Amino acid sequence: MARKADEPLVLGIETSCDETGVGIVRGHTLLADAVASSVDEHARFGGVVPEVASRAHLEAMVPTIQRALKEAGVSAKDLDGIAVTAGPGLAGALLVGVSAAKAYAYALGKPLYGVNHLASHICVDQLEHGALPEPTMALLVSGGHSSLLLAPDITSDVRPLGSTIDDAAGEAFDKIARVLNLGFPGGPVIDRYAREGDPDAIRFPRGLTGPRDPLYDFSFSGLKTAVARWIEAKRAAGEHVPVADVAASFQEAVVDVLTRKAVRACKDHGVDHLMIGGGVAANTRLRAMAERRCEDAGITLRVPRPKLCTDNGAMVAALGAEMVARGRAASSWDLSADSSLPVTETHVPGEEHAHDHDHDHAHSHDHDHVHELSKQNLYDA
Ligand code: KG4
Ligand code: ZN
């Protein structure tokens, strides 16, 4: 095993949605995970308002970075790199993180790594369960995404097998919670109600599970409509709506499809490890059902603790550290946020390095050059 001091010390910044996350890791060891959330500011709108999120990131950025450095007990000058979510996500929100990461990296003379948000959600599990097996199958379920990804190498090779054709799993939770007047975000509160309810009370539809349906794609909009209609019918008839039973039955339909398809993907691809990440991975029923189905299929399940499943900076730092460890090329200073960065682009290497995988990462020409430039600026000033 590598000595701890040899492992890269990386700070990661995440601002793709409503969480300003700054994490610091050394290799696979989590040193700090500071998160400032603007979720309360969005609650009254029933969803994330991009402009509100961007402004909250701007206000939270510097204090959150300072908090993370303090928590980790490290000095910014000791960092081996600064990683940031380059996409996918809300354009304005991403831009705040990318700008901050550039400013810090430039001022400190450190390499900058623009990384993919989805790959980060997978890589974070290294902080909990150690090195990811290669390949890993990943089920990513959040408010913005639901995908099945095959990852032979988290730093350079992530292949999408399927994804949602309409709503994301978390979005479905949020919408049903709104219909039930349970507030936002919906996932945690539905999870709580469902514990008191009967998952078999109402048989809601399982989207895209017919014999001719795509094997690894998901659809939750039909389910959402079915649940909303069921509730409306009860209300129209002046009957009581059994919230716990509706929550449990809805959750069961989502979790049933997610786990069934994930296990199927593992079997079809001969992969014996399943990783589940993203905000919905915090769901207790999803964890329990995945545990049982994986065990039955001889698959090892890896789910990080809930705090690492929802958006955070540690996951970005984890992927950044892996980029450094594997000598992946740093990003260039014209790195920009890409709200629809494809999952296949695990990171955004600088132009001249786009195809080279040499191991001279920490001293890429780009950064030596910038180092010189920043010195020059100092002398000029
Ligand atoms: O990964 P995340 O923090 O942000 C995105 O990238 O979207 O995921 C947030 C989503 C929300 O839709 C929220 O309702 C859902 O994750 N979520 C849950 C649970 N906790 C959060 N869904 C189901 N059960 C939960 N316990
Ligand atoms: Zn996310």
Task: Establish whether 356 is an annotated binding residue.
Answer: no
Ligand 1: which atom is nearest the Cα of residue 184? 14
**Chain segment 199-208, per-residue pLDDT in tens:** 999 999 999 9
63-122, pLDDT tens digit by residue?
999 999 999 999 999 999 999 999 999 999 999 999 999 999 999 999 999 999 999 999
Minimal-distance CA residue to ligand 1 atom 19: 187
Amino acid in the structure at residue 175? K
- The pTM (predicted TM-score) of the whole model is 0.89
Do 12 and 83 meet the contact criterion of CB atoms below 8 Å apart? yes
Distance from residue 106's CA to the centre of ligand 2 (Å): 26
pLDDT tens per residue, range 157-168? 999 999 999 999
- Pull the structure tokens for residue 16: 């793709």
* Among the bound ligands, the one closest to the CA of 177: 1
Protein residue with least CA distance to atom 3, ligand 1? 310
Nearest to 283 by CA among 194, 357, 362: 194
Q: How many CB atoms lie within 10 A of CB 200?
A: 10
Find all residues with CB under 8 Å of 25, minimum gap 6, and list them: 9, 10, 12, 31, 127, 314, 317, 318, 321
Asked whether 86 and 99 are in contact (CB, 8 A), the reply is no
Position 42 confidence tier, pLDDT thresholds 50, 70, 90: confident
What is the whole-number distance in angstroms between the Cα of residue 10 and the centre of ligand 2? Answer: 20
Averaged pLDDT for residues 175-203? 96
Average pLDDT estimate for 329-336: 97
In this prediction, residue 44 has a pLDDT band, given cuts at 50, 70 and 90, of confident
Q: Is the pLDDT of residue 356 over 80?
A: no
Options 3.30.420.40, 3.40.50.12280, 3.40.50.2300, 3.90.1150.10; CATH of 133-302: 3.30.420.40
Was 142 annotated as part of a binding site?
yes
Indicate the angle between helix axes 221-236 and 169-179, nearest 10 degrees: 10
For tokens 């219909």, what's the residue?
Answer: 179
Query: Which string of DSSP letters, residue by residue, matches 296-320?
Result: HHT-EEE---HHHHSS-HHHHHHHH
Pocket test for ligand 1, best of 16, 39, 142 (most atoms within 8 A of CB): 142
Question: Ligand 2 centroid vs 210 CA: distance in angstroms?
Answer: 29
**Count helices and strands in the chain by DSSP H and E runs:** 13, 10
3-class secondary-structure state, position 100:
helix
Residue-level length of the chain: 381
Atom 8 of ligand 1, nearest CA residue: 279
Task: Read off the pLDDT band of 375 (50, 70, 90).
Answer: very low
C-beta of 187 in contact with ligand 1 (< 6 A) = yes
Share of the chain above pLDDT 90, in %: 83
Pairing state between β 136-141 and 29-37: unpaired
User: What distance in Å separates the CA atoms of residue 301 and residue 259, rounded to the nearest whole number?
Assistant: 11
Q: Is 121 annotated as contributing to ligand binding?
A: yes
As a whole number of angstroms, the distance between CA 263 and CA 298 comes to 10
pLDDT bin (cut points 50, 70, 90) of residue 45 is: confident
Regarding the beta carbon of 278 and ligand 1, being less than 6 Å apart is answered: yes
Distance 312 CA to ligand 2 centre (A): 8
The superfamily (CATH) of domain 4-124+312-380 is ATPase, nucleotide binding domain (3.30.420.40)
Can you spell out the DSSP letters for 252-268? HHHHHHHHHHHHHHHHH
Paired residues of 29 in beta bridges: 26
278 in a known ligand binding site: no
Which residue type does 319 have? Answer: L
Cite the DSSP H helix spans in the chain: 39-43, 50-72, 91-108, 117-123, 125-129, 169-179, 186-194, 221-236, 243-269, 284-297, 306-309, 313-325, 365-380
User: Structural domain boundaries of the chain?
Assistant: 4-124+312-380, 133-302
Establish whether residue 191 lines the binding site of ligand 1, counting it when its CB lies within 6 angstroms of any ligand atom.
Answer: yes
- Cβ 279 under 6 angstroms from ligand 1: yes
Helix pair 169-179, 243-269: axis angle to 10 deg: 170
Which residue type does 135 have? P
Determine contact, residues 95/337, Cβ cutoff 8 Å: yes
Look at residue 381 and tell me whether its pLDDT is greater than 70.
no
Asked if 181 and 231 count as a contact pair (C-beta separation under 8 A), the reply is: no
> How far is the centre of ligand 1, averaged over its atoms, from the C-alpha of 4 (Å)?
33
Least confident of 26-40, 43-57, 210-224, 244-258: 43-57
Encoded tokens for 220: 């939750």
Tokens standing for residue 21: 């996350």
Closest ligand by atom to 280 CA: 1
How far is C-alpha 214 from the chain's CA centre?
24
Indicate whether residue 311 lines ligand 1 (CB < 6 A): yes
Annotated binding residue 296: no
pLDDT for 4: 57
Annotated binding-site residue? 279: no
Which tens digits make up the pLDDT trace of 336-349?
999 999 999 999 99
Compute, in degrees rounded to 10, the torsion defined by CA atoms 369, 374, 379, 380: 100
186 lines ligand 1 (CB under 6 A): yes
| pLDDT tens column, 254-290 | 999 999 999 999 999 999 999 999 999 999 999 999 9
Q: Are strands 19-26 and 9-14 parallel, antiparallel or unpaired?
A: antiparallel
Cβ of 276 below 6 Å from ligand 1: no
Instruction: Give the Å distance between the CA of 158 and the centre of ligand 1.
Output: 22
**Do 133-302 and 4-124+312-380 fall under one CATH topology?**
yes
C-alpha 303 – ligand 2 centre gap (Å)? 15
Ligand 1 pocket test target in 310, 339, 341, 343 with most atoms within 8 Å of CB: 310
Decide: residue 238, CB within 10 A, 0-12 exposed, 13-18 middle, 19+ buried: exposed
Ligand 1 atom with least separation from CA of 173: 14
